[in-house]
Structure 1
Amino acid sequence: MQTIDFELDRDHVELNQLLKLAGLCDSGGAGKQVVASGAVRVDGEVELRKTCKVRAGQSVTLDGVVIRIIGSPSAG
């Protein structure tokens, strides 16, 4: 499995936008479609809410890629 560390520079990021920012989708709209398909897991559970708020400490999995959400030292 590939792992991507995503540094969060704010309180949260919406799931569909995270997929775009991490390079797993071409756009936020494509991210919404992937989430709606049931292919995305947040902390091991299938997540169907396209704009689910993902925060530091969580992990998102899609197609064998794990995105670990890391809090920025300056965030908050």
Structure 2
Amino acid sequence: MLEISIRENDEFIKLGQAMKKAGLVDSGVDAKMVILDGQVTVNGQTELQRGKKLHDGDVFSYNGETVKVVK
């Protein structure tokens, strides 16, 4: 499982940004397309919002990769 961190001054990171930061997609447009296509899960649930706020401890998965968000 990969881990990405939220910036120290932030309480959350948006799903599309988190996917880019984890290296799972190359751009926000790519993130938007796979999210809208129902290919991404957040905490075990299919997520269709690119702007979904992820907080410390949230886990998202795409294309066989699982990523945990840490503070």
What TM-score does the superposition give when structure 2 sets the normalisation length? 0.91
Q: Which 4+ runs in 1 deviate beyond 2 A?
A: none
Q: Could you list the runs of 5+ residues in structure 1 that have no partner in the other structure?
A: 72-76
- 2:31 aligned partner: 31
Kindly provide the amino acid, as one letter, of the partner of residue 70 in structure 1.
V
Deviations 1:24-44 (A, max 9, x none): 000111111110010000000
Q: Could you list the runs of 5+ residues in structure 2 that have no partner in the other structure?
A: none
Tell me the number of residue pairs that the alignment of Structure 1 and Structure 2 aligns: 69
- 1:56 aligned partner: 56
Take 2:3 and 2:20, find their aligned partners in 1: how far apart are those partners?
14
Secondary structure of the 2:66 match is: strand
Report 1:17-28 matches (<5 A).
17-28=17-28
| Percent of paired sites with the same residue | 29
- 2:43 aligned partner: 43
RMSD across aligned C-alpha pairs, in angstroms? 0.8
Secondary structure of the 2:2 match is: strand
